Amino acid sequence: MLLFVCAEPADGEATADRLAVKVLKLRIFADAAGKMNLDVAAVGGGLLVVSQFTLAADTEAGHRPGFSGAAGPEQGRRLCDRVVATARRLHPDVAQGEFGADMQVHLVNDGPVTIPLVLRRR
């Protein structure tokens, strides 16, 4: 499972922890009947966490996206690392992209299933 993480300024460690737990418990993989009913552990899958600040892009005005809605680099790195650390405590197969790097990420979508998760802050 590929998880793109975008931290926003109001996010904190509790949000990062909730995200990791939520993602690992999502029942998005098909069972024997073809129904989305299994989580990543049930299918023996792994998790790749990649920081992606561009998910906070504001495209409301003009044609150039703005990224002021994303957390700054220090906070973004800290929260992305927190998601990874929490996920690693709960699941044996968790990998992490390099924060801030210009990475080439290749994805094969199964289905395709792409689910945006927006956690409300508590």
Catalytic residues: 52-54
Half-sphere exposure of 70 (CA within 13 A, CB side): 19
Residue spans of beta strands (DSSP E) within 1-122: 2-5, 29-30, 36-38, 47-51, 94-96
